[in-house]
Amino acid sequence: MIRPILKYGDAVLHEKAQVVEAITPEIARLVDDMIHTMYAAPGVGLAAPQIGVPLRVFVVDISVGLDEKGLRILINPEFVERDGTQLEDEGCLSVPGFTATVVRPSRAVVKALDRHGQEQQHEATGLLARAFQHEMDHLDGTLFVDRLRGIKRDLIVRKIRKLSRAGKW
């Protein structure tokens, strides 16, 4: 089932998500819904808080469904290592219509449970490392806009507030 994606300003997006205690049929349905929602958007990643579920779960597929081995499901993810730096434009399904340059690690190693409760480790570079960090931020209540400073952040937040007041957000 495709679920609605929350937008910047919704309280769930700004709170730390809770650990998944057990892989239940409800968690399996959540993961399936997240995959369908991510591909329908379309996006390269989606965290559970973005669909209003405050749990530490995210899905990523930088191939946007073109490579069947590209889909990654991470439950209760934790960074093992991060290093290097990359500066690239970044957007977000919860902040539609806006992008900005965000500093991210160029390499990241993440351990997490898969959909069957098995621990896995994922090593990523480039866009995948960026996507892991972006989705991990969602689990901690941070959006890419929150990582911006100065005029760029102010402009985006002001435009969102204006859209919100006009009923277009």
Domains of the chain, by residue range, sit at 11-165
Tens of pLDDT, residues 53-71: 999 999 999 998 889 899 9
- CA dist 163 and 86 (Å) reads 31
Q: What is the pLDDT of residue 68?
A: 83
Q: What is the pLDDT of residue 119?
A: 97
Q: Residues 115-121: what's their mean pLDDT?
A: 96
Tens of pLDDT, residues 38-47: 999 999 999 9
As a CATH number, domain 11-165 is: 3.90.45.10
Q: Residues 111-130: what's their mean pLDDT?
A: 97
Q: What is the pLDDT of residue 73?
A: 98
| CB contact at 8 A, 51 and 33 | yes
Long-range contact pairs involving 119-124 (C-beta distance under 8 Å, separation at least 24) = 121/80, 122/72, 122/74
pLDDT of residue 151 exceeding 90, the answer is: yes
Among residues of the chain, what percentage have pLDDT more than 70?
A: 100
Q: What is the pLDDT of residue 78?
A: 98
The model scores a pTM over 0.75: yes
Tens of pLDDT, residues 89-114: 999 999 999 999 999 999 999 999 99
Active site residues: 135
pLDDT of residue 30 exceeding 90, the answer is: yes
Q: Residues 112-134: what's their mean pLDDT?
A: 97
- CA dist 145 and 152 (Å) reads 9
Residues with Cβ within 8 Å of 11's Cβ and at least 6 positions away in sequence, in order, are none
Cα torsion through 100, 122, 52, 66, rounded to 10: 70
